[in-house]
């Protein structure tokens, strides 16, 4: 059985040595919190150009991936360390694909994209090489859109429903970050999934330019 280990939120704050305000520093909250279409009630989203919105309302990170990082970092990886909203146990994060769904009580989430590491994340981890390191590890976690709103709290059961159509994993997508060209066959595969709208538009444009 998969389980919601923690629900994490953060306030807008500065990280030492890093100028912009950020909400990446998140800590677990006891008791139920409401998940709406744009995220968790009370959670700060400071960089709305790259974070948040309907297609990236919730960020999930998986205990299976944190187990990998515990070995790599040789330290404990407390829930919220990577800035995720929900920390989930019992699911293989490397197998999660676009369109997969998570049901937590009344809440229904749908995977739309992978997390792309940035300098804010590197500042949070105190490692200037973190962006490259995180990318090479291929364990990005999953951004989700909220299909059904509701309240969640730690300890709730998570029902995992894999997407029945074309499977494009978040790891596969992450590996293509920065690629100058993409295989048209891959673009067509990805467009058969409920991928986030910004990426859908970009892929449709790339295919249109081929003809």
Contacts of 205 (CB under 8 A, 6+ apart): none
Residues 25 and 15: their CA atoms lie apart, in Å, by 9
Residues 211 and 207: their CA atoms lie apart, in Å, by 7
Tell me the pLDDT tens digit for each residue of 74-131.
Answer: 999 999 999 999 999 999 999 999 999 999 999 999 999 999 999 999 999 999 999 9
Q: What is the predicted pLDDT for the residue at 136?
A: 96
Q: What is the predicted pLDDT for the residue at 178?
A: 85
Q: What is the predicted pLDDT for the residue at 47?
A: 72
Q: Does residue 1 surpass a pLDDT of 90?
A: no
Q: Which domain holds residue 97?
A: 2-177
Q: What is the predicted pLDDT for the residue at 41?
A: 93
Residue 202 lies in a domain: no
HEC-encoded secondary structure of 18-87: EEEEECCCCEECCCCEEEECCEECCCCCCCCCCCCCHHHCEEEEEHHHHHHHHHHHCCCCCCCCCCCCEE
Q: Does residue 64 surpass a pLDDT of 80?
A: yes
Residue 10 lies in a domain: yes
Residue 187 lies in a domain: no
Distances (CA, A) of 153 to 88, 131, 158, 177: 12, 30, 11, 33
Residue 203 lies in a domain: no
Residues 127 and 111: their CA atoms lie apart, in Å, by 28
Q: What is the predicted pLDDT for the residue at 24?
A: 94
Is residue 52 very low, low, confident or very high in pLDDT (cuts 50, 70, 90)? Answer: confident
Tell me the pLDDT tens digit for each residue of 171-210.
Answer: 999 999 988 889 999 999 999 999 999 999 999 999 998 8
Q: What is the predicted pLDDT for the residue at 46?
A: 72
Residue 188 lies in a domain: no
pTM of full prediction above 0.85: yes
The CATH number assigned to the domain holding 37 equals 2.40.33.20
Residue 185 lies in a domain: no
Q: What mean pLDDT value characterizes the chain?
A: 95
Residue 73 lies in a domain: yes
Residue 20 lies in a domain: yes
> Number of structural domains, the chain?
1
């Amino acid at each position: 059985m998969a389980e919601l280990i923690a629900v994490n939120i953060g306030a807008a704050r500065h990280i030492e040595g890093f100028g912009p305000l950020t909400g990446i520093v998140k800590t677990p909250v006891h008791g139920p919190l409401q998940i709406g279409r744009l995220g968790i009630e009370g959670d700060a989203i400071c960089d709305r150009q790259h974070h948040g919105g309907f297609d990236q309302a919730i960020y999930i990170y998986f205990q299976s991936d944190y187990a990998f990082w515990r070995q790599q970092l040789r330290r404990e990886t407390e829930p919220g360390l990577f800035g995720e909203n929900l920390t989930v146990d019992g699911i293989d994060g490397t197998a999660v694909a676009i369109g997969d769904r998570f049901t937590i009580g009344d809440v229904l989430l749908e995977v739309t994209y992978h997390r792309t590491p940035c300098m804010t994340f590197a500042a949070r981890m105190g490692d200037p090489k973190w962006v490259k390191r995180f990318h090479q590890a291929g364990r990005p976690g999953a951004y989700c859109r909220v299909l059904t709103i509701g309240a969640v709290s730690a300890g709730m059961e998570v029902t995992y429903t894999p997407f029945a159509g074309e499977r494009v994993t978040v790891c596969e997508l992450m590996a293509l970050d920065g690629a100058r060209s993409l295989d048209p066959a891959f673009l067509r595969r990805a467009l058969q999934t409920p991928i986030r709208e910004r990426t859908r538009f970009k892929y449709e444009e790339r295919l249109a330019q081929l003809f």
